[in-house]
Chain A
Amino acid sequence: DAKTTQPTSMDCAEGRAANLPCNHSTISGNEYVYWYRQIHSQGPQYIIHGLKNNETNEMASLIITEDRKSSTLILPHATLRDTAVYYCIPRGGGSQGNLIFGKGTKLSVKP
């Protein structure tokens, strides 16, 4: 499994875009990049995933570099409720297999 590097913490002003980076330079060709978040004391919540094309859904956008060694999760208009720990997780394509969680990035959205 690929190893990831994420900032320990980040701050963002409410209403502004939050850009969360993740380095996954050892990702293999069949591994997708998944993003989950964990709001304090709750179970992790799926956000988005992608292989090599940029992806967008109702929650966020995912930008993956052409060499696939890094990606950025974008929350376009962060709210206070987006304060959470965000995990970037490479995972085999089509796999129902287990998620390997690192320590993630603690995003604090401030008024």
Chain B
Amino acid sequence: NAGVTQTPKFQVLKTGQSMTLQCAQDMNHEYMSWYRQDPGMGLRLIHYSVGAGITDQGEVPNGYNVSRSTTEDFPLRLLSAAPSQTSVYFCASSQGTTQYFGPGTRLLVL
């Protein structure tokens, strides 16, 4: 199993640009989520999904959209990037009580 994979690893955007961060898992987990981590801070939840077709907001959802059309994939969309969205983004999945995290995407918005 590859576990949780994320692409790209690094991305530089200009203010106002849009992009999609990809997340995929091959463990057939129902639950998936997106977190962001700012320097020196713990992770904060952006959006999560309890299964295909179901998504909900976390602690810091503004500026981000998600969809869950399949069990495997949970993309995170930035419609109009802002410098405040410069961060490291982690995707996670779980089935049961343990969450498995991807390697992260580092995003810089200029």
How many A-B pairs have beta carbons closer than 8 Å: the answer is 53
Of residues 26 through 57 on chain B, the ones whose CB sits less than 8 Å from some CB of chain A are: 30-31, 33, 35, 40-45, 48, 50
When the two chains form their complex, are residues A94 and B101 in contact, meaning their CB atoms are under 8 A apart? Answer: no
Contacts of B48 in A (CB 8 A): 98
When the two chains form their complex, are residues A41 and B104 in contact, meaning their CB atoms are under 8 A apart? Answer: yes
A contacts with B, residue count (CB < 8 A): 22
Which listed residue, A42, A46, A93, touches B104 by the CB 8 Å rule? A42
B contacts with A, residue count (CB < 8 A): 28
A interface residues (Cβ-Cβ under 8 A, vs B)? 32, 34, 41-46, 49, 87, 91, 93-96, 98-104
B interface residues (Cβ-Cβ under 8 A, vs A)? 4, 30-31, 33, 35, 40-45, 48, 50, 58, 88, 90, 92, 94-104
